[in-house]
Amino acid sequence: MLDRLALPDLPVLRGERITLRAARESDIDDRLAYPIDPYEEDNYGSAWRRGWDGRLCHTREHLAAGHESAQPEPGVYPWSAGYDGHCVGSARLRVDADQHRAEYSVGLFVPALRGRGLGREITRLVLDWAFGPLGAHRVELEVLAGNDRAIRCYEACGFRHEGVRRDAELYPDGWKDFLQMGILQAEHLSG
């Protein structure tokens, strides 16, 4: 009665403009075409700053190492976001099969493509799969308070505000809160 979720292979998810698919070698060149933006990286958390040497570009070696170790652990679904023949970002679900729950994250590394609805398209593709074929009961995420664009994107896709982790992470300019957001299967299917 308390069955675990079955974990299928990483699916390819096709939207109007975006295709979510497994990482490819050519994604490395696509990523190298754009510098590291510290303010974007901060949206994923502050831990990266501790290892940051001030470099504003990734190196091929660094990205290739990440690519090689990208063999997903069970329950981790890492997608590259393809747009117009190039990789422009990524999305990820980390599934807790016992609790029928998944943690979501997303990012577009091409600044000019933000704010044009692609984040919403990616998020809806992932939610349709998570609540459909995967059969999850709940999808949750954390977002830096003040990342208004991401928060608007998640709200537009049906995520509700559930709480605040106060002073959750230390940044160069002080402690920052993270918001907790979540959406249930029934909410997604009725929305």
Q: Quick one: tokens of 19?
A: 């295709």
First to last CA, the chain: 28
Residue 5 or residue 83: which is nearer to ligand COA going by CB?
A: 83
Q: Quick one: tokens of 184?
A: 């249930």
Closest CA to 33 of 109, 99, 121, 90: 109
Closest CA to 29 of 84, 78, 86: 86
Q: Which stretch binds ligand COA (CB under 6 A): 37-45, 52-60, 74-82, 160-168?
A: 37-45
Q: Quick one: tokens of 45?
A: 């958390």
The H-or-E segment that residue 60 falls in is helix 60-68
In the region spanning residues 127 to 156, those forming contacts with ligand COA, defined by CB under 6 A, are: 143, 147-150, 152-153, 156
User: Closest separation between CB of residue 78 and ligand COA, Å?
Assistant: 15
- SS3 category, 4: coil
The H-or-E segment that residue 32 falls in is helix 26-32
Query: Could you tell me if 105 and 77 are in contact, meaning their C-beta atoms sit under 8 angstroms apart?
Result: no
User: Closest separation between CB of residue 158 and ligand COA, Å?
Assistant: 11
Question: Can you name the residues that pair with 162 across neighbouring β-strands?
Answer: none
Residue 82 or residue 107: which is nearer to ligand COA going by CB?
A: 107
User: Closest separation between CB of residue 140 and ligand COA, Å?
Assistant: 12
Q: What are phi and psi of 21, to 5 degrees?
A: -150, 175
User: Closest separation between CB of residue 21 and ligand COA, Å?
Assistant: 17
In the region spanning residues 88 to 127, those forming contacts with ligand COA, defined by CB under 6 A, are: 89, 106-108, 114-120
User: Closest separation between CB of residue 165 and ligand COA, Å?
Assistant: 13
Site string for ligand COA, 47-86 (x = CB under 6 A): ----------------------------------------
User: Closest separation between CB of residue 124 and ligand COA, Å?
Assistant: 9
Question: Total number of residues binding ligand COA (CB under 6 A)?
Answer: 22
Name the residues that contact ligand COA, by CB under 6 A: 40, 43-44, 89, 106-108, 114-120, 143, 147-150, 152-153, 156
